[in-house]
Amino acid sequence: MLRSRHLLTSIICLAVGASAALPALAQQQRVSPPDIAGTVVDGNRVTIYYSRPFSKDPKTGEKRKIWGGLVPYGKVWRTGANEATLLVTQQPITLGSQTIPAGAHTLFVIPEEDGKAQLIVNNQIGQWGLTYDEKQDVARVPLTKEALTASVDQFTMAVARNAGGGGVIKLMWENTQYSVPFTVNK
């Protein structure tokens, strides 16, 4: 119990340190600036730390094809840019039908050409980009795909409360939104 409490404290300190560093990182004028998405759902704070690439090529300014182009189908994508995307939850959550323990986890996505996609929750944290070890997967959860009415130029993530209870994690880019609901385990 003491060891798990120490681990959770270390993870929360890492997340707080990462959030404190975000303003300094933003000042470095990164091509894909860092951002934070999060909210409190049923007494549990769920936060995502990620970087936001643009649809336009930073060198040429030309619009890029995102899904099936910059983000290839059938391959693990780091869910943003720069450092790996970090999900932090204070309490365990059920994401789709999978239980995610409290703490910090990295998020990856595998989009498919047929429109299906999976969100991967992985225990490896602190890595740059697409350093991925499948053996550290906690869960793979199907995402729901929806067409957006307006195109999204810059990759955007959101954590929001669900009207029917619990919350939802959303990933939006180009003309597509992927989402997955979650509930807080008590």
Phi, psi dihedrals of residue 121, rounded to the nearest 5° = -105, 125
Residue 93: predicted pLDDT: 98
Structural domain tally of the chain? 1
User: Which of the residues in the chain have pLDDT under 70?
Assistant: 1-29
Structure tokens at 155: 């990759």
| Distant-in-sequence, close-in-space partners of 72: CB < 8 Å, separation ≥ 6 | none
Domain assignment of residue 10, given as a range: 2-184
Residue 186: predicted pLDDT: 82
Structure tokens at 68: 């099936």
Phi, psi dihedrals of residue 139, rounded to the nearest 5° = -160, 155
Query: Which regions of the chain does DSSP assign to beta strands (E)?
Result: 34-41, 44-51, 85-89, 93-95, 98-100, 103-111, 117-122, 137-161, 167-184
Residue 107: predicted pLDDT: 97
| Kind of pairing between the strands at 93-95 and 167-184 | antiparallel
| Structure letter (DSSP) for residue 84 | P
